[in-house]
Amino acid sequence: MARIDEIATDLYRISIHMPQIDLQFNHFLVKDDQPLLFHTGMRRMFPEVRDAVATLIDPASLRWIGWSHFEVDECGALNQWLDIAPQAQPICTEVGALVNIQDFANRPPRALHPDEAIETGRHRYRLVPTPHLPHGWDAGMLFDERERILLCSDLFHQVGDLEPVTSGDVVGRFSDAIVAYQANPVLMDYMPFTRETRTLLKRLAALQPKLLVAMHGSSFSGDGAAALDAAADVMERHLGVPSAQR
Ligand SMILES: [Fe+2]
Ligand SMILES: [Fe+2]
């Protein structure tokens, strides 16, 4: 059963906890004149997420469908949403459109240029391309310029069935998750630390977000710039050094 919480004005978190892996999958609906869904969820979660969205808006009225990078929890159910929402259009990075979505999606995407924004009504979402952050060549994030909210996908990944929003130590939880995944032979190397990772995180910090919206775990309310700076240190420490040298 999905849990629904309004975590900021017009921004709803639809959370499904998967006990087998003790992980939340969070989908976000912006309830505005032109409703936006960020993260379609997996195909097998579609009925549950759709029914949760239907308690907030008519799913057929969705206008925009976005995500960070090509992966089943990000955009696996894209075509199911396109089937039930005739006006909905996928939005993604230019790389995402070129290498995946122009072929994968049943309707053409709108590829957003770096820093191009869409207006949903009361909100304006700017695309920030973030190649390989959290992972994937095509990765990007959306930033609500008016509310200073960053939809940051797997960044700040936290394990567990957690509260919708925290002002606590989200960087510590993120660090714990990376350490746990690095110790797992299947899940290790979840995110790369590339020569651009710190630069990208600094660029995100410069946006001065007040809310960091996480796909897995709690969203963080507070000094987003400080959290992003600290995340860079955590990622470099755990992911930036070859395992043999750690
Ligand atoms: Fe991912
Ligand atoms: Fe994810």
Ligand nearest to the CA of 134: 1
* CA–CA gap between residue 179 and residue 184 (Å, rounded): 9
pLDDT per position as a tens digit, 159-210? 999 999 999 999 999 999 999 999 999 999 999 999 999 999 999 999 999 9
Strands 23-30 and 110-112: unpaired
Distance 226 CA to ligand 1 centre (A): 23
Q: What does 52-75 look like in DSSP terms, one character per residue?
A: HHHTTS-GGG--EEE-SSSSHHHH
pLDDT per position as a tens digit, 108-157? 999 999 999 999 999 999 999 999 999 999 999 999 999 999 999 999 99
149 touches 141 (CB < 8 A):
no
Distance 69 CA to ligand 1 centre (A): 7
Residues with beta carbon < 5 A to ion ligand 1? 71, 154
**pLDDT of 68 over the 70 cut:** yes
pLDDT per position as a tens digit, 108-121? 999 999 999 999 99
**pLDDT of 243 over the 80 cut:** no
Note the pLDDT of residue 1. 86
CA dist 49 to 44, 111, 234, Å?
Answer: 10, 25, 32
Note the pLDDT of residue 246. 61
pLDDT per position as a tens digit, 230-241? 999 999 999 997
**Sequence-distant (≥ 6) Cβ neighbours of residue 207 within 8 angstroms:** 128, 143, 148, 150, 224, 225
**pLDDT of 213 over the 90 cut:** yes
96 touches 72 (CB < 8 A):
no
Distance 130 CA to ligand 2 centre (A): 15
For tokens 């919708």, the residue is 164
Mean pLDDT over each residue of the chain, to the nearest integer: 97
Compute the average pLDDT of residues 40-48.
98
Note the pLDDT of residue 85. 98
Note the pLDDT of residue 241. 77
